[in-house]
Every structure is written in C-alpha cells, then in structure tokens.
Structure 1
Amino acid sequence: MDIGKDKAGHGALRLTAWATSAVLGWGIAFAAPLPAQAQSLSPDQSLDDTLPAPTTSAAPADAATGPLTDTQTGAPVNQASPASQGSGGSDTPPNMRLRLDGVDPTTTGSTLDDDLRRVNLPETTVDGLRTRQYPDRADVQGIPLGTFTLRPSVNQSINLERDRTGSVEDNRTFLQTDLRSTLTSDWDRHALTVTGEGVWQRNISGTGEEKPTISLDADLRLDLPADTIAHITAGYQFYREDTSDPNAIAGASKQSAVNQFTTGLSLERDFGLLRGTTALALTRTVYSDAELSDGTQVTLSDRDQTAGTWRGRIGYELSPAIIPFVEVNLGRAVYDQTRDSNGYARSNQSYGGKGGVEFDLGEKFKGELGFGYQHTEFDDSRLASVDSPTIDGNLAWSPQRGTDVSIGLSTTVQPSTTPGLSGYSAYQLTSTVSHQLRDDLTAKLTGGTIWRDYPSSGSAADETEYDAAFGLTWGINRYLDLTSNVGYQLTTRKEGDDTRQLQAGVGLTVKR
C-alpha cells in the first residue's frame, strides 16, 4: 500500500513538473517576439499599445517580418547580449525594460541595446513642431575630399530689370549664373573654411549694364594653448561700380571694375572674466578705366590705394550671456598717387572708439551692439575732416523653429572723388526674415537702407537708399531647388533726380 502511494506521489510530481515546464515554455515563446514588435512602433505609439492586456494572451509577431538584425553584425536584435544576461535584478533583456517616456532606466548595455533604444524613442520636436518629414530634402552632404568637404551649387536664372533716373530709363532682360562653393575642413583641431561666390550676367535684350561679381574668402582658425584662438584671413573681391554710387562716372556706359585684395590676422584670448581681441587688416584696392557712351576711356588709377587698420577690444564677462566691451581702432589709407587728377592729396588717417555689449542667450538670440565716434582727416588741408558718431551691431533671432531673423547695423567713412569734397559717412541697416512655410518651401524677405551723410560744409547733398526684396525657394529634392524673387530699390536725393530700380527673376539651383 505504501509502495503504491509512493508511486502515485512520484507520478503526480512528474506531472506537475511537466505542466510547469510547458507553461514556462509557452510563456517564453509568446514573450520573445516583444522586442521585434517594439522595434516597429510608429512615432505616435507608445510601448503600452503593444503589450497584451492582462486578461488576454499575447499574439505572436508577424512571421512575414522576421526578427530584426543589426546592420553591422547581422545578429538578431531581439536576443539579449551576454552582458545583458549577466545583469542582476531581472531576467528581462535591457532592451525590453523601457520606461514609458522613452528613457531606459539602466545606464549599462551593449552598443546594440543603445541602437535599439534610439529607434524606440519618440520623434523629437522643437517648439512643438515635428522634425522634417522628408529626410531626402535635408541639406546635401557635399563631396568628401580627404579631410575636407566641398559643397557647390549653381543657380541659372532669367531676369527682368527696369532702371529709371529722372527721365532716363534703361530696361533689359538678362541671364544670370550664380556660383557658390564652400570648402570646410574636418580636423580634430583648427579649422579652414574657404568660400567662393560668383555672378555672371549676359543681356539678351535691352541696354542696361551687366554687373558681374566675384568673391573669394579663406579663414584659417588656429586653436592655440592658453585659451587663445588665432584667425588668418585672406580674400579677393571683384565688382563693377553701380551707377547709383556717388563716386560713379556720370554718363558712363561701363563703370569702373574694382579689384580688392584683403588679408588679416586676429588673436582672441580668454583671461577668465576678461576677453581680449587684437586684429590687423590690410586692403588693396585697384580701379580699372571707365568707358563713356562715345567710347572714351576715363582713367581712374588715381583712386588706387592701400589701407591698413588695427583694432583692439577688451570685454568683461558679467555672465556667460552678457559681456560689455570697449574697442579702439586706428587706420591709415595711402594712395598710389600723391595727388588725384584734380590735384587733391586724398591719403588719410583715422581713429575712433566705441563701447557696447555682447549678448548670447543661446541659439535663439545672440548678437552685439555698440556706439562710438570716428574721426578721419586728410593730408590735404583743403579737405575737411569727417567726424561722425557710429552705431554698429548685429542680431540673430529665431523666434520659432523654421523662422530666422537677422539685423545688421554699420557705420563707415567713404572717401569722395568730387573736387573739394573729402568724403561722407554711410549709415547702413540691413534685415532678413526667413520662414519655412512648408517642409519644402521657404520664403525670404530682405530690406535695408543706407543714409549717406555729407559734411555740412561741402557742396554735396545727403541721399538715402531703400531696398526691399522677396523670394521663394521650393526644394524639389535634396539636389534641386526652384527659386523666384522680386526686388525694388529707391535712391532719393535732396538735389538731383531720384533713381528707381525694379528687378524680378526665376531660376533653378543645382547643388551637391
């Protein structure tokens, strides 16, 4: 009797162990597909949406999709790595222990686990807006060239221009080619950036003047010891003087072409709460002959000059976001010819200073603003000195994602070519608003004004220039953009005729 009872007890024990093993096996079989199911979550789903209800059985993953694998190793991602199996506290792999907010409570795990966590994170947003829905329309990656990246673009457009000064009107239709390229380094230390831009125009009808431009700039940043940064710069610029420029030749069919060469060196040093900057810059300017309507050449070599400036700035860090500063500058311009064609010695020297504040509130709001005074006097005693208060600054503001606002203020002293007139102060305001209407459509509005203030003792009258333009860019794909723009310029003069210019065009940009 006892033997029978023992056999029955052993049979019941074996039956219980078999049932327990079966239950555990089915549980593991149903639980294993969960990582693959979590991998396929959409940005609008949470992990709770895929977990089985407490009163129902979990459904197996779709067999058609199969287990996910790592793109580099080929290993299934729904299998726990040896490192995760050895972690204490739970037999569940780390890639299944996700919090509902998308953050893994553990701080350890393999690279594979990190990749899986990144996939399962909800879609990131900025200011409540989702990220780009079309990643193929993002900025192009450029062309790798060793440790450099080249980003070229070409825009071909057809344009209409209406230019009117008093009763004289010039209308033209022209083709314009805009070339732009940026070469940037990818070094652990230091950085080199080379930027080139060029505009070529060809009239297909009308009598307006073609206005080609070329600009090349290079900036080598050196990260030196003791919190010191050095910049070595060089550049070249070519442009043709505009007919609305005060120094342009009246009645010329082709204005002078200007070649400008620049180079500079600056040092920036952080002394704790103090920030110091010193900089030297040299500019060489060469003018070609202008051509009158009857073919006569007007030599302008008496305007060729070499100018050098030095500036020094010291700032005090009240906080990382606010740094007041003071700045002084000295300058000297020497003309190739001691006297110009009218017998005036126009070489000059200048000095000035300003005080202001730098502010940096992050990517949303940064810039600087300064007020000062500038004095310029000429070698010829017959030319009056130019004294002017100055205001300079810049502002970059992004009120929301997809909207960027930039504002610039500058004050410069420009020499004159008019007999008996030394020069004038130019106060310039520029502004740009760029807004992303859609993921593939961007609108840009630009505006500005220049006030040319002549000395009261001179014979020239003040004038003001107003500019406004609007453009649209449609990103067809990451390599092709359709552009359109319309702009208007008005120059008003206290004495003389006003100038009005209207321009509109449409073009296509190819970029890489």
Structure 2
Amino acid sequence: MVAMSGAQPEKSRGRQGKAVCALLLATSVLALLRPAPLHAQETELRGEVSESAIRSDQQRKARQLALATQGQQQSANTAQDDAPPRTYLPASAGAVPDDTGTDAATGSIFDPPQATDDTSTDNPTPPKPRRRPSSAGQNTAGQDKTKADAKSKKKKKTAAATTDTTSSTTASTTDAAGTTATDQEAANRRALTIDSADRQKLDPGAERTAAIEGQNKKAEDDPFAPTGVKWGSFVIRPSIEQGLTATTNGDSSSAGTSALLSETALRFTAVSDWRENSATIDGYGLFRETVSGYRVHDAQGRIEGQLNVDLDNELRAIAKLGYEAVPETASSPNAIAGVSTQPLRQTIDGSLGVEKAVGKMQYTLTGAVSHDFYGDAELSDGTTLSQKDQDNTLYTATLRTGYEISPALTPFTEIEVGRRAYNQRIDDEGFERSSTRLGARAGLQLDMGEKLSGEFSAGWLREAIDDKSLEAISGATVNADLKWSPERGTTIGLTGKTTVETTTTAGESGDILYSGRLTTERQIRANLTANAALGFDWRDYVGIDGHDRILSAETGLTWWLNRYAGLTTRVRTEKLTSNLPGRDYTANSIYLGLKVQR
C-alpha cells in the first residue's frame, strides 16, 4: 500500500514536465515562424501549397500582364492626343527623398506580409538563413550564369531594334506634353472682357456678306432703253407711238392745204442671241388718217432681215431680204396729177454677199436683186389707171476690194455691173426702158469705236437705156454713213445716198436724186433726249433741163415718264423749189404724241 501510494506522485510529476516541455517548444516554433513566413520557402523548406491557389495566382498574373501590354499600346497610339500626367519635380534637389521601395504588391500568396500594428512584429525580420551549396548546386549555378549571359545579349539586341519605335513614341509624347503645357499656360491667362470679341477685327474671308439689295449695281448706260421680250432665241423690242400732227400742207404737194392728222407708228427690232452667227430683223409701219382738214389716207411700211454666218478661214456670208410698201408721194416725178389716190409702189429686195480676208486685203462679192411693182392709181372720177408698165427688176453684182492700213482705216474700191429689166419690154408709149448699169466708186472705211465709225465713197454711175432715142442716165455718186460722238451722250450722224429714179414719161429717161441728212441726238438727262435734223435733196432730171431742191429742218424732244412710256414732240419744216411748173410747195407741221416701248 505504502509502496503503491509513493509511486503515484512520481508518475504525475513526470507527465507535467513533459507537458511543460511541449508547450515551450510550440511557443518557440510559433515565435520563429510568425515574422518570417517565407523563411521556409527561401531555405527550400516550403510546406504543402494548394494547387488551385497556385493556378488562380498564375491566371491573375497573366491577365494583369495582358492588361498592362494593352495599356502601353493604347498609350503609344494616343500619345499625340492624350498627354501623360506631369510628374511633380521639386524646386531643389533632395527636397523629397527618392522612392527606393520595392515594387507594389501584386496580391499573390507569395507576396511579403504587409506592415501591421501587431506589437509582435516590432522586432526586425531576422536574416534569411543560407544553406551551404552543394556541388550539384554549384553546377546548376554555372549553367544559370551562362544562360543569363545569353539572355543579356538577346536583350541588348532587342533594345537596339526597338530604339526607333521608342524614339518616335517619345517624340510624340514630348509633342503632346508641349501641347498640354501650352494649353495649361493659355488657361492661366487673364480672362477676356465680354465685348472684347466684338472689338476684334474679323478675318476678311469671314466678314459678313452684304445683303443682295445693298450691293452696288453698275449704272446702266441708258436706264430708259427698252429691255425687250425674249421669244425663242431672239430678243424683240417693240414700240408704238400715237399722236396728232397739225400741218399746213396735208400731202406735201403744191395743192395741199392744212389738216389735223392722226399718226400711228409701229416699230420693232429683233436681235438673235446666238453664240457664233447673228441675225437681225427690223420693221416699221406708219399710218396717217385725217381728223379734220385736207383729206389724207395713206399707209407705208418696211420689214427687212439680215443674217451673218461665219463660214471658215476668215470667210463670212451676209444675206439680206426685205419688203417695202410706199405710196408715190405727190412730189415724186412719177406722181399722177388729178388722182385721189397715188399708186402704191411695192419692193421686194434681197442680196447675198461673201467676205474674205487674206492678210490685210479684204474682198467682198455681193449679188443683189430688187423688184418693183406698182398698183393702180385711182382717179377723181372713180376709175383706175394701171401702172404695170413701170414694173421692173434690177440685178446687180458688186466687187469690193479693201486694204487695211490700220484697224481704224481701210480704203476700198468698188466696181458695180447690173441690168434693169422691165416686165414690158416696150412700154405704153413705145419705148424700150430696159437698161445696163456700170459704176465705180472709191472710199474709206473708218472704225474708231464709239468715237467715229462708218464709211463714205464717191464715184461715177451710168445706166444706158436700150432705146437709143433716150439719153443714158449718168452722173457722179456720193454715198456716206458716218456716226461721230464728240462726247458721251451726244451722237452726230451724216448719211448720203445717190439713187437712180426711172420713169415712163414720154421722152424722159429719168433722174438722179442726191439725198443728204445731218442728224444730232443729245441726251440732256437720263429721261430727256433732244434731237435735230437738217436735210438737203437735189434731183437732176435727165433729158430735160429741170431740177428740184428740197430743204428740211426738224427738232424734237422725248421725255420718258418711265422705262416704258414717254411723251414726244417735234416741229418740222420742208420746202421744195423747182424750175418746173407746178412743183413748188412748203409744209410746216408740229407733232405731239405718246410713245410706249417694251
């Protein structure tokens, strides 16, 4: 009993000592492992690690590497647009210590522990124990060193290959950084005032465009000229004039008396707007009717067209065609005394010419045809008197040669040959009136623009009648068509014409009529125009000793109310003096009317 009781305390004491030793050993091991969890790994004493944790850690690192690579590429592509943030640089060296820390933690299970407030970690981490390398380890270290040298060489080559790319990327980054710096400097400038933008001078190319109504339009040369009406490829400018004429001689004859006449004048001009060739059509109609006084009832008119066609090699063709209807005037040599109505003379004429320029020489060949036919005369007793024996046709051919001394002066010569053929070879009086024509002229053509233009010529014309008992009609010829503008708004014109007039009077061959007109037009104001004219006619009879002299003068005004309507007035005087009996007369008249144009 004693022995058993004495042995129990000894056994209990031994168990307690083992427990204390085990507790001390566990505490020591825990104290060593807690501050250095990687010590076992570094000393190749790593314990068991979960495969799933390692796999997830590797996948996360791969994703982070891919994101980092993508971010670098995007940064290189947008280096010029998005400038990198500026790194703060201290004013003096050493103001802020350099960042010498290690790379940031990646969150891996192999990262070192983060600093905590645990008092048990105040002690510094003990140095890593190093194990003496074995011979196998030394061999492995040598192989690793060789591989490291090879990798170093490869890295140097790679760095050299990527130098250009890095340089371009750096340059782009530098430019972007400079732009960012400029933007930041501009953002720090003093703010502009509210009205400073309005005070700045605009770029000439960005100035406000003026309104259409406010643009300066070029002033028209004649603001009251007719605008015309577009009809196909022609522009037509029609006009109508209606007025009253008070005259002292109703029909301009030796037996005429005063009368109040109603006058209506229709005129039009049509001009083509073709690009190369051109065409014009002109026409007029004049109607006179007695309102009171001496009986007058007549109408006359003319229409003519001209076509210019450019062929080739300085060759141009000119074609003309016209029609005219005019009653014989009481002062005409062919007028019939004692009739109530003079016969109506109608004329159809046409011509075709070809112009050719060879150097400074100019050649023009023109062929013309003119046919006159007469109506019957109404006698006072109501009977009629035929005038068919006066119907005739004139054929002519003219060759013109000119030499251009200068663009303004071109002297020329003309040769004309022709034949006049009567419908009745022998007239009612038994005479053969057909004749042969021959003429020559020399003149000068002027072209000085608006200042002076036109031509004039002088020559000789002879028309020999087939009947030898009748004297040939011959004499000097003078023709002119000149326009001179001494100043703007003033135009002076001079026209002259020589005409051979035939007759069927027994024993007479006909006469030569010389006509001349001097006209002046002055634009006093834009809507007020004045005009004046002086006329001189001389008729020389062939076969008898007779002549007529006609003097005339006229002046007028036109006041435009607007572009389409105006008031016009004119005063005219005319006097015929002849050495033949019963031909003298004097006529004075005044006209007032309204003119409408389009």
TM-score interval w.r.t. the shorter chain? 0.7 to 0.9
After superposition, give the CA deviation of every residue in 1:244-283 in whole Å (9 maximum; x if it has no partner).
Answer: 1111112222111111111110111111110111111111
Q: Which residue of 2 aligns with 1:450?
A: 537
Q: 1:269 to 1:166 in 2, by over 3 A?
A: closer
Q: Does 1:32 align with 2:202?
A: yes
Q: Distance in 1 between matches of 2:447 and 2:259?
A: 46
Q: Which residue of 1 aligns with 2:271?
A: 184
- Structure 2 counterpart SS, 1:302: helix
Q: Does 1:441 align with 2:528?
A: yes
Q: Distance in 1 between matches of 2:210 and 2:487?
A: 39
After superposition, give the CA deviation of every residue in 1:24-47 in whole Å (9 maximum; x if it has no partner).
Answer: 98377442398999xxxxxxxxxx
Q: Does 1:475 align with 2:560?
A: yes
Q: Distance in 2 between matches of 1:397 and 1:166?
A: 35
Q: Distance in 2 between matches of 1:299 and 1:286?
A: 11
Q: Superposed, which structure 2 residues align to 1:408-447 within 5 Å? A: 408-447=495-534
Q: Which residue of 1 aligns with 2:230?
A: 144
Q: Distance in 1 between matches of 2:393 and 2:256?
A: 37
Q: Which residue of 2 aligns with 1:492?
A: 577
Q: Name which of 438, 449, 456 aligns with 1:351.
A: 438
Q: Which residue of 1 aligns with 2:8?
A: none
Q: 1:166 to 1:363 in 2, by over 3 A?
A: closer
Q: Does 1:465 align with 2:576?
A: no
Q: Which residue of 1 aligns with 2:592?
A: 506
Q: Is the 8 A contact 1:171 1:208 kept in 2?
A: no
- Structure 1 counterpart SS, 2:196: helix
Q: 1:139 to 1:342 in 2, by over 3 A?
A: same
- Per chain length, whose mean CA-contact separation is higher, i.e. which structure has more relative contact order (CA < 8 Å, sep 6+)? 1
Q: 1:167 to 1:508 in 2, by over 3 A?
A: closer
Q: Superposed, which structure 2 residues align to 1:186-205 within 5 Å? A: 186-205=273-292
Shift of 1:314: 0.5
What letter corresponds to residue 277 of structure 1 in structure 2? T
Q: Which residue of 1 aligns with 2:323?
A: 236
- Say what the alpha-carbon RMSD is for the aligned residues: 2.8
Q: Name which of 8, 11, 18 aligns with 2:189.
A: 18
What letter corresponds to residue 286 of structure 2 in structure 1? V
Q: 1:167 to 1:227 in 2, by over 3 A?
A: closer
Q: Superposed, which structure 2 residues align to 1:86-485 within 5 Å? A: 137-163=223-249, 168-455=255-542, 458-485=543-570
Q: Is the 8 A contact 2:253 2:331 kept in 1?
A: no
Q: Distance in 1 between matches of 2:212 and 2:541?
A: 69
Shift of 1:469: 1.2
Query: TM-score, normalised to structure 2's length?
Result: 0.65
Shift of 1:202: 1.8
Q: Distance in 2 between matches of 1:237 and 1:166?
A: 23
Q: Which has the larger radius of gyration?
A: 2
Structure 1 regions of 5+ residues with no counterpart? 5-9, 38-66, 73-115, 125-130
The structure in which a higher percent of residues are helix is: 2
Q: Distance in 2 between matches of 1:33 and 1:483?
A: 55
Shift of 1:18: 2.7
- Structure 2 counterpart SS, 1:319: coil
What letter corresponds to residue 381 of structure 1 in structure 2? K
Q: Is the 8 A contact 1:170 1:208 kept in 2?
A: no
Q: Is the 8 A contact 2:576 2:586 kept in 1?
A: yes
Q: Distance in 1 between matches of 2:260 and 2:499?
A: 34
Query: TM-score, normalised to structure 1's length?
Result: 0.76
Q: Distance in 2 between matches of 1:181 and 1:225?
A: 32
After superposition, give the CA deviation of every residue in 1:317-338 in whole Å (9 maximum; x if it has no partner).
Answer: 1111111111100111111111
After superposition, give the CA deviation of every residue in 1:460-487 in whole Å (9 maximum; x if it has no partner).
Answer: 4111111211111111111111111111
Q: Superposed, which structure 2 residues align to 1:56-67 within 5 Å? A: 67=208
Q: Is the 8 A contact 2:343 2:376 kept in 1?
A: yes
Shift of 1:401: 1.0
Q: 1:480 to 1:375 in 2, by over 3 A?
A: same
Q: Is the 8 A contact 2:224 2:527 kept in 1?
A: no
Shift of 1:423: 1.4
Shift of 1:400: 0.9
Q: Is the 8 A contact 1:446 1:470 kept in 2?
A: yes
Shift of 1:14: 5.6
- Structure 2 counterpart SS, 1:139: coil
Q: Which residue of 2 aligns with 1:48?
A: none
237-246 vs 337-346, greater mean Cα deviation = 337-346
Q: Distance in 2 between matches of 1:436 and 1:293?
A: 48
Q: Distance in 2 between matches of 1:395 and 1:306?
A: 30
Q: Distance in 2 between matches of 1:481 and 1:120?
A: 28
After superposition, give the CA deviation of every residue in 1:396-418 in whole Å (9 maximum; x if it has no partner).
Answer: 10111111111011212211232
Q: 1:484 to 1:296 in 2, by over 3 A?
A: same
Q: Is the 8 A contact 1:440 1:476 kept in 2?
A: yes
The structure in which a higher percent of residues are strand is: 1
Q: Distance in 1 between matches of 2:319 and 2:456?
A: 25
Q: 1:35 to 1:468 in 2, by over 3 A?
A: farther
Q: Is the 8 A contact 1:277 1:313 kept in 2?
A: yes
Percent identity over the alignment? 32
Shift of 1:17: 6.6
